[in-house]
Amino acid sequence: MIRQQKYSIELKYARFQKNCLFLHLKQQTTETMEGKRLEKVNKLLLKELGDIFQKELKPKVPSLMITVTRVNVTSDLSYARVYLSVFGVDEKKKVVEEVGQNAKAIRGLLGNRIRHQMRVVPELRFIEDDSLDYIENIDNLLHPEK
């Protein structure tokens, strides 16, 4: 199976051998441009979702703190995995599930905020980020006297 790749033709005027002009095929790096675009979209969604959780949800439940730690968008910008850290409650999975049930409303708020930057707002999937709990557990194992 032959993979189609984009190539650009680059003329090499400096190297002539036996009066022949060599054409050099250079692969275009579209992945880096795509990667930069995804990185910008990830940062935009991270910032705006963090704002939504701090300004919209904080007044409703003052004892609860939800932090958006990471956002990963698929390459076609149709889905976004949003990693949440939850503080102030014991049942973190239940809170993340409730946020997931309200994903359409959160997506609507996000769409109102980023309507000039993006044409289509990705579908949001919320995942509990337990990396901070893992770090805290390791710290407690390393320093038991605290």
Domains and CATH numbers, the chain: 37-142 (3.30.300.20)
> What is the predicted pLDDT for the residue at 131?
80
Tokens of 132: 């901070």
113/116 Cα distance (integer angstroms): 8
Higher pLDDT, 27 or 127: 127
- 54-to-26, 66, 86, 134 alpha-carbon distances in Å: 48, 8, 12, 24
* Model pTM above 0.85: no
Higher pLDDT, 142 or 14: 142
Residue with tokens 């007044």: 59
- pLDDT tens, position by position, 50-72: 999 998 877 777 788 889 999 99
Confidence of residue 87 (pLDDT cuts 50, 70, 90): confident
Q: Which of 81, 75, 80, 77 is nearest to 120 (CA)?
A: 77
Strands 7-17, 20-27: parallel, antiparallel or unpaired by DSSP? antiparallel
Residue 23 has pLDDT above 60, yes or no: no
Residue 24 has pLDDT above 80, yes or no: no
Q: How far is CA 140 from the centre of its chain?
A: 30
> What is the predicted pLDDT for the residue at 63?
81
- pLDDT tens, position by position, 92-111: 899 999 999 999 999 999 99
Task: Find the DSSP H helices in the chain.
Answer: 30-52, 92-101, 103-113, 131-142
